[in-house]
Amino acid sequence: MPLLTGRVAIVTGASTGIGRATGLLFAHEGAHVACAARSAELVERTASEIRRLGGHAIALAADLTRERDVAKLVEATTAEFGRIDCLVNNAGDGGPTKPVQEYSLEEWLDTVNSCLTTSYLCVRFTVPVMIAAGRGAIVNIASMAGRRGLPYRVGYCSAKAGQIGMTYGLALELGRYNITVNAIAPGAVEGDRIERVMAAQAAIRGTTVDAVRQAFIERSPLGRMSTAEDVAYAAAFLCSDHARSISGQVLPINAGEPAS
């Protein structure tokens, strides 16, 4: 039997990368999926693909740093599917790559809001629905950068560390309601985002993209990067009954690279 048969999941940042892979996999595993992202065109593409494959999905264009947009997301999901069993907080930008002394307050706030405030707001509006149902699973897509840092990306590292701290606190707070809260910490994940990160790191360090890529790969005992699907499978497990006694944990999906 599929892992998530009959479950209802909100997946944020579902237009590309990890979010898109998560939405598609959750549907494959039997979930009804509310796909949310800023781009109406791209998030509808994910939902349409789910429907084309026989699944049930809705697409919602939303700025998840705005309370009213998050409220509308939760309202639309419950109106369409009747409840919310799973929340995957994946929305977030990578932020700029630059020395901290050149990092503006606006860039800091944009990065922290896109990664951390979005997660807080989605939790805030989703938790009452889960409490009323007597169950729920929340998965925050953090990053290894929030555990071991990454030079020239102070905003992103701080926001992802914040997601991990939020995970610990929420697990203690929400366990009494039968709601599990966990985080996934991906390392380097194949795709457009890591290509942009490597190009920016190469430029600021005065080296080549290939050299940066090789440095990422050499950290992995498996000799490769992870994929978006690797992260999606972990999220599906954490939202399933198989993980009902797992909460307050951070699961690295990083091809074995060390945490420090």
Question: 122: part of which helix (H) or strand (E)?
Answer: helix 118-133
DSSP-derived 3-state class of residue 89: strand
Residues 209, 198: Cα–Cα separation, whole Å? 6
179 neighbors 186 (Cβ within 8 angstroms): no
Counting as low any pLDDT under 50, the low residues of the chain are none
pLDDT given at position 185: 96
Burial class (CB in 10 A: 0-12, 13-18, 19+), 105: exposed
Cα gap 249→247, rounded to integer Å:
5
Determine the Cα–Cα distance for residues 153 and 93; give it in Å rounded to an integer.
Answer: 12
Residues known to be catalytic: 156
Tell me the chain's radius of gyration from C-alpha atoms.
18
194-232 exposure pattern, b = at least 16 Cβ within 10 A, e = fewer: beebbebbbeeeeeeeeebbeebeebbeeeebbbbebbb
- Please work out, in degrees rounded to the nearest 5, the angle formed at the alpha carbon of residue 146 by the alpha carbons of 29 and 28: 5
**CA separation for the pair 193, 78 (Å, rounded):** 32
Residue 23 φ then ψ, to 5°? -60, -45
**Whole-number Å distance between alpha carbons of 85 and 15:** 21
Q: What superfamily does domain 8-189+227-253 belong to in CATH?
A: NAD(P)-binding Rossmann-like Domain (3.40.50.720)
